[in-house]
Structure 1
């Protein structure tokens, strides 16, 4: 990949999707796109660039290119303290105010293969088991069409569920009948509570409903600072007054002009 080819493709990725593409990422981009070249029997990045930027490429190759270059690191119950806070503090307070008048709504932005929204759904369902009348809905969105489809399928290697409490595994997962596969699937009852869709956070978008909680964790670390603030401002528009924004422990809102107040480390309440 020449410098000009990297500048064209990397610049496009950064402008359209907010993913930083400094010169140090040239080798990474080259490696990940090599799979796409092979899939289409192309022998040069110049040929790939020309196809990508054609009308046909924008329609058919662009989603596959994004699947190839995006990073989708996630785990069940990642940053466990957030889930403990949700169950022990935020849900009881919310239910005391609202009772069963409406559903508790959560949006997982940048949901990857679904571990985060399903973790949230498990916690909410546990709360519902103790509070008759409580109901909820969870929405997960991601840029990558491929990972969204995996999230809908909700099939995971058994090793991925190591952080899931043992009683949650028994209640919310089914083991594969073929024990050689060592796979688990989220039970249908929980899958029905979680909806998934594709969403580019760097483009104007309609909120996936008005939410009581938005998880936008470990997403903006790939964006430049001005884009981070713009994204969090859009997230705030999707949170009901008094609702909460959860961000990753490696992220910060310091210096940003947002209608939020910090209530716990990496947890902010919508004003």
Structure 2
């Protein structure tokens, strides 16, 4: 890694990168490897330009002196938000075919289902969950989905529920008719999630490394492609915190490249990156 790159618009050194990734880690717990050097430059150069600075050292100093003005913008810029509707399709199939039939029996007396999408990004995951639940749960049941993320920008986008048409290319016609509204005029190439889906989802900003002001228990939790960014001790601590909020026998869904193997947690693997809380 070179300290300086003459081709860059702004001076950007290894010291700058180390300061910025250390700051990110202290706040979010996310480990930033050496190969993210260029990514940090690419994502933060817009902020450097907007603030009128000529080098990243000035930006680092600004973050130190005015965290109240810039810190949220900084975290939003360096957070990764790759997602899509029904990503890792087998999870949604398991929910529909296996988990929901069990919950309909188990929760028959109170007729309610509670779900948490932790790391919801721009909303495709919680909306995919909402579709799955609305299609398979009787209409007189009370369904609520909590959707949280660290990035306030993606949360705002998610709550709006508007997407370019190319984002729904993989969704079948029946679902498109039932759950999406086509845009017109200036919104011609966009679609909007129907109100009946949006009204069961609650979007909230949450830092997984800090206190969780959450009440009650969840029947299952999706925390996919989030644990991969943390060290072993943090993964174990997070998994145990999730377990504490899950109902007895509740399920935790994680990403395709993640595992709880060799971590001390109350979970047992029951499917492809699907875990069940099997002890208190």
TM-score (norm 2): 0.91
Which range is displaced more, 209-218 or 228-237? 228-237
Residues 1:35 and 2:42 aligned together: no
Give the equivalent residue in structure 2 for 1:268.
275
User: Are the structure 2 counterparts of residues 99 and 33 from structure 1 closer, same or farther at C-alpha, using a change threshold of 3 Å?
Assistant: same
Structure 2 partner of 1:253 = 260
For each residue in 1:139-167, what CA deviation from the matched residue of structure 2 results, as whole angstroms up to 9, or x when unmatched?
10001000000000000011111222221
- Where structure 1 has 5 or more consecutive residues not aligned to the other structure, the ranges are none
2-structure distance, mates of 1:236, 1:180: 42
Instruction: Report the counterpart of residue 72 of structure 2 in structure 1.
Output: 63
Return closer, same or farther for 1:47/1:132 CA change in 2, 3 Å cut-off.
closer
Alpha-carbon distance change, 204 to 180 in structure 1, aligned in 2, over 3 angstroms? closer
Alignment partner of 2:81 out of 55, 72, 85: 72
Aligned length in residues = 267
The residue matched to 2:87 in structure 1 has which SS? Answer: coil
Report the CA distance between 1:134 and its aligned residue.
2.5
Q: 1:241 to 1:189 in 2, by over 3 A?
A: same
Number of the residue aligned with 1:188:
195
8 A contact 2:107–2:113 mirrored in 1: no
Say which of 2, 17, 36 aligns to 1:25: 36
- 1:148 is aligned to 155
How far apart, in 1, do the equivalents of 2:196 and 2:140 lie?
17
Deviation at 1:180, TM superposition (A): 6.5
Whether the aligned pair in 2 keeps the contact of 1:99 and 1:133 (CA below 8 Å) is no
The answer to whether the Cα contact below 8 Å between 1:104 and 1:137 also exists between their aligned partners in 2 is yes
Q: Which residue of 2 aligns with 1:96?
A: 105
Report the TM-score, using the length of structure 1 for normalisation: 0.94
- Give the whole-Å Cα distance in 2 for the aligned partners of 1:6 and 1:49: 9
**Higher mean C-alpha deviation, range 5-14 or range 151-160:** 5-14
Give the Cα separation in 1 of the matches to 2:71 and 2:187.
36
SS at match of 2:185: coil
Change (3 A) 1:165 1:48: same
CA distance in 2, matches of 1:166, 1:208: 37
Are 1:8 and 2:41 counterparts?
A: no
1:219 to 226, 229, 234: 226
